[in-house]
Amino acid sequence: MIVSRVASTDRLSVVNPGAIIGPLLGLHRSYSLQTIERMLAGDMPAIPRLGFGFVDVRDVADLHIRAMTSPEAAGGRFLGTGPFVWMTDIAAILRAELGAQAARVPRRTAPNLLVRIMARFDPSVGSVVGELGRRTEYSTAKAERLLGWRPRPIKESVADCANSIIASAASSS
């Protein structure tokens, strides 16, 4: 949850983003970015049956600005996310948009049982076990209606995120 203060009325508005992806700004990698980075590097032999409502960092920034400058936002809570997307669909977007640069992106889906077994040995896997196979949809209708906010297409966000990760890796080696 990220809080913005509306300038004209000095009333709080709240922006709750989904899983944030997009171009890198620095060295820090959020969990969402680490997942895409691991897929690109071939560090995942298979993809767990997980999905999220992804949102581009640039769209989150846009929503914050709209929430801070619009009198209609005063006292409101706004969800900032795109549509729900399975990680297997993210992998398919990476392969389609990046071609040979995505050659190491996995094509197989990990069985839920295997992920549960892995969670016993890897705490980072354990944190997502409860979400396996679960599809959760969120509505951004309020942000769209009151603030005119629209997230960019997921293909664009995933491609820009991946290209940024690749460029960062190339510049650091």
Radius of gyration of the chain (CA): 18
Domains of the chain, earliest start first: 2-109+138-167 (3.40.50.720)
At residue 6, does pLDDT exceed 50? no
Mean pLDDT of 46-54: 93
53 DSSP β-pair partners: 84
At residue 87, does pLDDT exceed 90? yes
Q: What distance in Å separates the CA atoms of residue 100 and residue 104, rounded to the nearest whole number?
A: 9
CA–CA–CA angle 109, 115, 120 (5° rounding): 165
Mean pLDDT of 40-48: 89
Q: Looking at residue 109, what is its pLDDT?
A: 94
Distance of CA 144 to the CA centre of its chain: 19
Which tokens go with 133?
């196979």
Query: What average pLDDT is seen over the chain?
Result: 88
